[in-house]
Amino acid sequence: MEKRNKRKFSAEFKTKVVLEALKEHTTIEELSRKYELHPNQISHWKKEFLAKASSVFGSAEKIDPGTKQKEEIIEKLYQEIGKQKIEIDWLKKKLL
């Protein structure tokens, strides 16, 4: 018996199929024939999409909790760069 390779689908393809399923212009069976997928696969993608849809409208901290911390680090680094620039300029004036 031949071993079949597992097909991999891009996020764009999955989104396209799920959005068509949500529009309900065609049945899941028709979509499964059109895209050569099992109807259960489309239903699974649809459930996963709907479960994660609320994260789209969530705040940035919920999506990436490290974002605020990264911004604080960047702000501190910019302050340090500014402080060093002032010191360098002051030292240059003293040398002249």
Assess if residue 20 is contained within a domain. yes
| Spatial CA neighbour of 49 closest among 29, 27, 75, 21 | 21
What is d(CA 20, CA 50) in angstroms, rounded to the nearest whole number?
13
| Cα 21 to Cα 29: distance, rounded to the nearest angstrom | 10
pLDDT of residue 35: 94
Q: Say if 93 falls within a structural domain.
A: yes
Joined together, the tokens standing for residue 19 give 């959005």
Element (H, E) at 95: helix 66-95
The total of structural domains in the chain comes to 2
Rg (CA), the chain: 27
Residue 80 lies in a domain: yes
Q: What is the pLDDT of residue 62?
A: 57
Query: What does the block give as tokens for 71?
Result: 């911004």
Residues lower than pLDDT 70 in the chain: 1, 58-65
Range(s) of the domain holding residue 78: 64-96
- The reply to whether 69 falls in a domain is yes
Residues 44 and 78 in one domain: no
With 0.85 as the threshold, say if the pTM is over it. no
Is 4 domain-assigned? no
One domain, residues 48 and 80:
no
